Structure 1
């Protein structure tokens, strides 16, 4: 019978800190960097192709660039022009010209596949 037995585990915080300090996340950060740059490039390429039939200054295309955060573990890619949603999704007066979503659909799958390979 184990009544009134106390089990105390000490040092878990030190163990977690030690394990975290020994993890090598640089291959993951390299993948994030690579796929963030490729997503940016594909989005810009899609924009160039989509906007050739109409008026375009290229401002939205030039505004696309990867922005890294969380020590290189997160990347955000997207145009910074305030009218980009109208171009991507359309309005009742103009058809959508999706550029970011098609690029993301392809690139995200490639990223997931490479991340899985890295973890094997």
Structure 2
């Protein structure tokens, strides 16, 4: 099972609008802030989701933001091989989603902050 990927739709249009309407010097700070918040939110979700089951905390500790493209891109990855089983479940256990709910909330906050920068 490969690593799960999540994407935002409409990024090309947003990037074009950002480049046309603003100075990009603040964007890496916004990316850094929201990457860190996504990591924290995911870890917090894990603490809540795994309270009722056995957990060593290894997956929670593996949540790390990785920055690239001069700070314009952040990937929040989990390095345990079994994370997809926890996030999506198996035929033997229910899913305990932690990254997707965090991403759903944080991505909207990220988009809203970028929109404010464009005004």
| Distance in structure 2 (CA, Å) of the matches to 1:41 and 1:60 | 13
Verify the 8 A CA contact 1:35 1:107 in the aligned structure 2.
Answer: yes
Instruction: String of CA shifts for 1:38-69, please: whole Å, max 9, x gaps.
Output: 00000000001100101000000000010000
Q: What's the offset of the Cα at 1:24?
A: 4.1
Measure, in 2, the Cα distance between the counterparts of 1:113 and 1:24.
17
Length-normalised TM-score, structure 1: 0.79
- In structure 2, the partner of 1:75 is 74
**Distance (Å, rounded) in 2 between the aligned partners of 1:116 and 1:104:** 18
**Alignment partner, residue 87 of structure 1:** 86
> Structure 1 segments of 4 or more deviating over 6 A?
none
SS at match of 2:81: coil
* TM-aligned CA deviation for residue 78 of structure 1: 2.1
What residue is the counterpart of 2:42 in the other structure?
A: 43
Structure 2 residues not aligned, in runs of 5+: 1-18
Aligned-pair Cα RMSD in Å? 1.3
Alignment length (residue pairs) = 99
Q: Deviations 1:64-108 (Å, cap 9, x if unpaired)?
A: 010000010000002110100000000000000000000000000
Question: What is the CA–CA distance in structure 1 between the aligned matches of 2:90 and 2:62, rounded to whole Å?
Answer: 21
- The TM-score normalised by the length of structure 2 is 0.80
Distance 2:70 2:79 in 1: 22
1:78 & 1:91 partners in 2: Cα distance? 20
Q: 1:88 touches 1:98 (CA, 8 Å); kept in 2?
A: yes
